[in-house]
Amino acid sequence: MRTAAHAFLLLLLVVASAPDCPAGEITDDFSLDTLPPSVVRTVPLCGDDAVDPNLSEISVTFSKDMKVTGHCWSWCSVQEGSFPVLSGATEFLGDNRTCVLHVALEAEKTYAIWINVDEFQSFQDTQGHPAVPYLLVFRTGPGE
């Protein structure tokens, strides 16, 4: 019981201090315009363990309009072999929020892709704010 009480107190301390946790450089002008974009949707969904290996496009949708010029975006591998084989040019859709990676997937394989990580910060909104890093992980199911 004593251990449970200590764990509960520790949890209270962490929760109580959570609002003060730093989250990068946030200015006094706290708004949608000044905060960085974040990933709001992926296809396939992160954590999906039965992705159709015939899926030919991976997409990521951001919370804000993004820079779509320059064709330099930060889709990054986690480790060798974790990134899918590319089958075409990467492109932004007309909504200026969804970027599509054309791929050829293998059956029964785990993929892990960073969106903006470390020094690779090319996904940026129209104001030049880099997107918050996001790790997309999924596994394909058996082939036909």
Number of domains in the chain: 1
Closest CA to 129 of 41, 20, 25, 19: 25
Residues 6 or more apart in contact with residue 38 via CB below 8 angstroms:
62, 63, 131, 132, 134
Interatomic CA distance for residues 64 and 56, integer angstroms: 25
- State the pLDDT confidence band at 24, using cuts at 50, 70 and 90: low
User: CB of 137 within 8 A of CB of 50?
Assistant: no
User: Is 16 part of any domain?
Assistant: no
Range(s) of the domain holding residue 43: 36-139
User: Is 28 part of any domain?
Assistant: no
User: So what's the pLDDT on residue 14?
Assistant: 39
User: Is 90 part of any domain?
Assistant: yes
pLDDT in tens, 70-101: 777 899 999 999 999 999 999 999 999 999 99
Q: Return the CATH number at 102.
A: 2.60.40.1220
Interatomic CA distance for residues 144 and 142, integer angstroms: 7
Residues 6 or more apart in contact with residue 93 via CB below 8 angstroms:
59, 99, 100
**Model confidence, pTM:** 0.79
